[in-house]
Amino acid sequence: MVETTDKSLSKKSYKFKAYLGRYPYNLVNSGKFEKYYQTLTDFNFINAKINHPEFGVQSLIEDYDLIDKFAELDHPEYNSEKIKNLKLIQQALQLSAHVVTFDKNQLATQLQGRLLSQTIPEIQALLTQTKQQTTIPWLRSLTSNLTPPGGNLIRTLTGHSQSVTAVAVTPDGLRVISASFDGTLKVWELQTGKELLSWKGHRYSINALAVTPDGQRVISASSNNIRVWELQTGKELLSLTGHINSVKAVAVTLDGQRVISASSDDTLKVWELQTGKELLSWKGHSYFINALAVTPDEQKVISAYGFYDRTITVRELQTGKKLLSFYGHNDSVNVVAVTPDGQRVISASSNNMRVWELQTGKKLLSLTGHHYSAEAVAVTPDGQRVISASWKEMRVWELQTGKELLSLTGHHGSVNVVAVTPDGQQVISASNDCTLKVWRLQTEKEQLALIGHSNSVNAIAVTPDGQRVISASDDCTLKVWELQTGKELLSLIGHIHSVEAVVVTPDGQLVISASDHETLKVWELQTGKELLCVTPDKWVSAIAVTADGQQVISAYSDDTLKVWELQTGKELLFLTGGHSKSVRAVAVTADGQRVISGSDDCTLKVWELQTRKVISLAGHSNSVRAVAVTPDGQQVISGSDDCTLKVWNLQTETELLSLTGHSRSVRAVTITPDGLKVISVSSDCTLKLWELQTGKVIATFTGEYPINCCAVAPDGMTIVAGDSSGMVHFLRLEKTRNNS
C-alpha cells in the first residue's frame, strides 16, 4: 500500500494532485521499481487517480506504460512476474474503461469481475483491498463474470446511440472513424479510446466510409449522396450527388484523386475528389450493388451484386469495361475485398465465403464456419489473414489454407463491419449493439470459463432457503447452481425448445418451467426428475406460483392467462377479456387473491380471482415486460420497453413513482424480501439496485451482454442474473447498513 506521512496531502490539495499526477513518473526516473510496483497495485492510489477530476482512467492506464522504462534501463529490480501482474491490471482497466469513465462507482465491481480468476497473490490482495476500502454500496462478483485481461479484446468504444454501420482507420493508424444508423460520424483516438470529434453528417443511415491516403479527409455514403469531410474539424468540403438510390459502398484510389461509389440504383460512379465532378458512370446487372473494392494498382474495380444476380464483376476502372464475372454464390453477395498484392478476391454471402483468383475468376477456397450470414470481411496488410464478421462474432482465417485461426466473440448484435490497422496488429469491429471493439489479432485464447448456458438465459429463481439457483435458457435446459460458489449441481433436460420461465415452490421442493413449445413442466428439485407435463396449446411467456404452492398462473402469447392446480395440472381458471395483446409478465400477491399481469398493450391488469374483476393500470408507453409485487401486497413495480420502471399503489390504483436510468428495455424486476429495494435488469447490459421509497439508484453492475432476468436471495444481499450470452452472474451487495 502506498503511504505518505505528509498530512497536508489532502484530497483537495494541489500537492495531492501533483502526487497523483507525477508520483509514478518520479519513481521510474529515480529507479524505484519496488515502490512503483506497490503504487500501481494499491487500490487507494488506483481509486484516487480515477476519481480525481484532473485525471481519470486513461491517465492511470498510461502510468502502467512506464514499466517499459525499467526494461530499457536493464534495472536490477526488474521482475518479469511483477511486470506481468502490472500488465494484467492495466489490461483490466482498459477493458473496463468505457464503464468506469461513465460511472466511477463501478471501479471495484469491474476489477472483481475481470481479475477474480487470477490466482496471483498480489492480484488477490488488490481485490481484497477493493472490498475493504470501497466506501460506497457496490455489487461484488462472486464468480468471474467479465472478460479477463490477457485475451484478444483490448477495449470497447461507446458513444453511438444507434447501430454502428461503418468504420475506417486512418493510414497512420492513430485514429478510427465510425458512422452510425442515425447519420452521426465520430473520430476516436485508437490508443486511448478517447472520442475526439462527433458530428451529424447525414439525415439517414451512413452505409460506408473511406479515408483518403493522406488521412486528411473522410468520405461518407448515405441515402443517395456522398459527402467529403475535413477529418480534423468535421467540416463538410463537398457533396457528391448523382445516385438516385442508396449508396452502399465507397472507396478511394491510392493516389487520393478519385472516389468510386456503388449504389442500389445499380450504378458504379467514379468522381474527381478535388472538384466533386462525376467522371464515369456505368450500369451493373439491373440488381443492387452491395459492395466494391479497388485493386492496389488502381486498374480494376470489383463489385458484388445482390438479390437474383449473386455475382462478382471485375471492371476496368479507367473505362468501366467489364473484364470478368465470378459465379458460385447461391445468395446475395454482401461484401468483397481484395488482397494487397491484387491477386485474390474474397467475397461473402449469407452462407459462405470464397477466395477467388482475380486474374481468372477461379475459386481457390471456401471458408466455412459462421452460423449466420457473413456481413463484412477485411484482409491484413501482409495478405496472410482474412477477418470475417457475422452475428455476434468474428473469425480470423489463414488465407493460404482456409484454416480458422481465431474466433472473437464479445458483441451482442450483428457485427456490421471490420477494419484492420495498418500494422496488422489490431482489428476494429462495429456492431448493431452500438459499440466498437478493438481486438488484438494474436491467436490467444480467452481465459474466461463461462458460468452458464450455451445460449441466452431467460429466467432465474432462487430457492427459499437461499442455497440454490435455477436458471432457464434458450439452450432448452434448466440448470441448478450452488448460490454461494456458482458451482453447477444439476441439469434438468426435457424441454425441446427454449425455456422461457421458471419458478420454485415456496417449500423449495419443486421447480415449474415453461417453454415456447407450449409446455409446462414440474420437476423434483432434489433429483431433477420430471413429475408432470402440461400442454396448454399456447406459447407460455411467464409463470408465477401462489404462496401456498397449490396453484400456478401462466401467461400466454395471445392475451390470456390461466390458473392451474399444481398437483394435477388441472385448469382452474381462464382469465381473458383484459389485455388486447400478448401477456409478457405475471405476478401474484402473497395472499393469492390477486394476479398482476403486464402486456404488449402497454398496460398492467390486476385480476381479482374471486370476483373476476379486472383493474387496468396505464402509464407505460411501450410493452410491459416485467412485474413484481411487494411482500406486503401494497405496491406493484413494473418494467417496460419504454426504459422505465413504475411503482403503483394497488389500493388506490395510481402511479406513485417512475424510475428512470436504463437506456434500453427493462427486462425483469424483483424486490428484496424487506420490500425496501428493487432490482432491475435491462437490454442496456446493466443491473440496477434502487431504493424503492425514493427511486434513487443505490448501485449498478454493467455486464457485457443484455441482461434478461434477475432474482434475489432471502438475505436480500445476494443477487443472481442471467444474460443473453448464457452467463449466470452471482453478485453480492457490499457496504450497506446491513453488511458494512
Domains and CATH numbers, the chain: 14-106 (no CATH), 166-375 (2.130.10.10), 457-714 (2.130.10.10)
Q: Give pLDDT, residue 438.
A: 99
Judge whether residue 715 has pLDDT over 90: yes
25: left (phi over 0), alpha (psi -120 to 50) or beta: alpha
CA distance 608 to 573: 12
- DSSP string of 405-460? EEEEEEEEEEEEEEEE-TTSSEEEEEETTSEEEEEE-S-PPP-PPPSB-SS-EEEE
Closest CA to 712 of 726, 698, 725: 698
Give the span between the Cα atoms of 257 and 346, in whole angstroms.
25
**Distance in angstroms (rounded) separating the CA atoms of residues 429 and 164:** 9
- Write the single-letter amino acid at 296: P
Contacts of 110 (CB under 8 A, 6+ apart): 92, 95, 96, 99, 100, 146, 702
Q: How confident is the model at residue 285 (pLDDT cuts 50, 70, 90)?
A: low
Amino acid occupying residue 246: S
pLDDT for the residue 67: 86
| Average pLDDT for the chain | 93
Strands 195-200, 184-189: pairing kind: antiparallel
Per-residue confidence at 286, pLDDT binned at 50, 70, 90?
Answer: low
Residue 736 binned pLDDT confidence (cut-offs 50, 70, 90): low
Residues 58 and 194: beta-carbon distance below 8 Å: yes
Instruction: Tell me if 253 sits within 8 A of 294, measured CB to CB.
Output: yes
Sign, CA torsion 282/357/351/335: negative
Q: How far apart are CA 532 and CA 103, in angstroms?
A: 47
pTM of the model: 0.94
Question: Tens digits of per-residue pLDDT, 121-163?
Answer: 999 999 999 999 999 999 999 999 999 999 999 999 999 999 9
Q: Quote the strand ranges of 36-163, DSSP E.
A: 138-141, 153-158
Q: What is the pLDDT of residue 590?
A: 95
Residue 5 clears pLDDT 50, i.e. is over it: no
Which amino acid, one-letter code, is at 185? L
pLDDT tens for each residue of 544-602? 999 999 999 999 999 999 999 999 999 999 999 999 999 999 999 999 999 999 999 99
pLDDT of residue 448: 55
Q: What is the DSSP letter of 350?
A: S
One-letter amino acid at 136 equals I
What is the average per-residue pLDDT within 41-47?
A: 97
3-state secondary structure of 269: strand
Q: What is the pLDDT of residues 408-423, one digit of tens each?
A: 999 999 999 999 999 9
Rounded Cα gap, residues 583 and 560, in angstroms: 7
pLDDT digits (tens, 9 = 90+) for 187-225: 999 999 999 999 999 999 999 999 999 999 999 999 889
Q: For residue 666, what are the CA distances in angstroms to 61, 407, 464, 626?
A: 33, 31, 25, 7
Please state, in angstroms and as integers, the Cα–Cα distance from residue 487 to each residue in 467, 510, 730, following that order.
11, 20, 11
- Tell me: pLDDT of 514 over 90: yes
pLDDT of 4 reads 43
pLDDT tens per residue, range 72-115: 656 677 778 899 999 999 999 999 999 999 999 999 999 999 99
**Buried/exposed code over 339-375 (b: 16+ C-beta within 10 A; e: otherwise):** beebebbbbbbbebbbbbebeebeebbebeebeebbb
Per-residue pLDDT averaged across 259-269, rounded?
93
Over residues 535-541, mean pLDDT: 86
Q: How far apart are CA 8 and CA 576, in angstroms?
A: 71
SS3 for 267?
A: strand
Question: Alpha carbon of 293 to those of 251, 374, 669: distances in Å?
Answer: 7, 17, 49
Q: Residue 3: pLDDT band by 50, 70, 90 thresholds?
A: very low
pLDDT at 1: 39
| pLDDT of 668 above 50 | yes
